[in-house]
Amino acid sequence: MANHKLVALRTIWIKEITRFMRIWVQTLVPPAITMTLYFVIFGSLIGNRIGQMGGFSYMEFIVPGLIMMSVITNAYSNVSSSFFSAKFQNNIEEMLVAPVPTWVIIGGFVGGGVARALLIGIIVTCVSLLFVDLQIHHFAAIVITLILTATLFAAAGLVNAVFAKTFDDISMVPTFVLTPLTYLGGVFYSLSLLPDFWQVVSKANPIVYMVNGFRYGFLGVSDVSFSTSIGVLIAFNVILFAIAYRLLDKGVGIRH
């Protein structure tokens, strides 16, 4: 019984990886080009004028945030577009009527999103090495934060796809929610530069904890404690997986 669940999980996961690897020019190359532009403009050109931040060169400071930004975007977009396409083509209904547990379906789609996010993270990290010598303060912190963040936004993409009725609905959340939260999440600045009130407000943004947890892994500095960042990530993962499970189990947005 357990064996067929693992086969189903692996099958969905392989399908998801094959899907984005087949069109790698569209899925893997654009993030590398976009991040290269960020490195050139914000790191090399503007960074030289800014000088240091948090005791590091501006380029060193923003690299972890830029890597995390690409991971967030790709984990989310991969699952939201894939799951909505499966729903739009009625493929997801075949999975729901098959003897496959709901958690296997969720795990398969989320696993595909995590795989793409991790691959993008590696690519962007390699690109960043052309501009700055990266330090690694705590490798385990980097890996844990990366996996938890990729998993979180992959699950969020699935929840968005469940409710989406058109392809336009898929792009609304990244445009009006993810992008503002990311730019206000401490990618390009330290929270210590903000007035006390806005520091408190910023800490209501979950992306702050992801960026700072990741930055701690590279540089050993963070605006919030690493344990707090991991706690927030785990809590949001549990909440989103529970929501996704409930929605799929009830067939919300799928069964008519």
Q: What is the pLDDT of residue 149?
A: 96
Q: What is the pLDDT of residue 211?
A: 94
Retrieve residue 208's tokens: 């702050």
CA angle 63, 186, 139 (to 5 degrees): 45
Q: Are 216 and 138 in contact (CB under 8 A)?
A: yes
Query: Is residue 256 predicted with pLDDT exceeding 70?
Result: no
Q: What is the pLDDT of residue 57?
A: 85
pTM over 0.85: yes
Mean of pLDDT over the chain: 88
Query: Is residue 248 predicted with pLDDT exceeding 60?
Result: yes
Helices (H), 28-57: 29-38, 47-50
Summarize pLDDT for 132-166 with one digit per residue, the tens. Answer: 888 888 999 999 999 999 999 999 999 999 888 88
**Who contacts 66 (Cβ-Cβ below 8 Å, separation ≥6)?**
35, 38, 39, 124, 128, 187
Q: In Å, what is the CA distance from 50 to each residue of 7, 44, 125, 138, 203?
A: 53, 10, 22, 26, 24
**Who contacts 63 (Cβ-Cβ below 8 Å, separation ≥6)?**
39, 43, 128, 131, 132, 134, 218
54-58, 64-68, 79-83: least confidently modelled range: 54-58
Query: Is residue 125 predicted with pLDDT exceeding 90?
Result: yes
Q: What is the pLDDT of residue 74?
A: 93
Helices (H), 45-101: 47-50, 58-88, 91-97
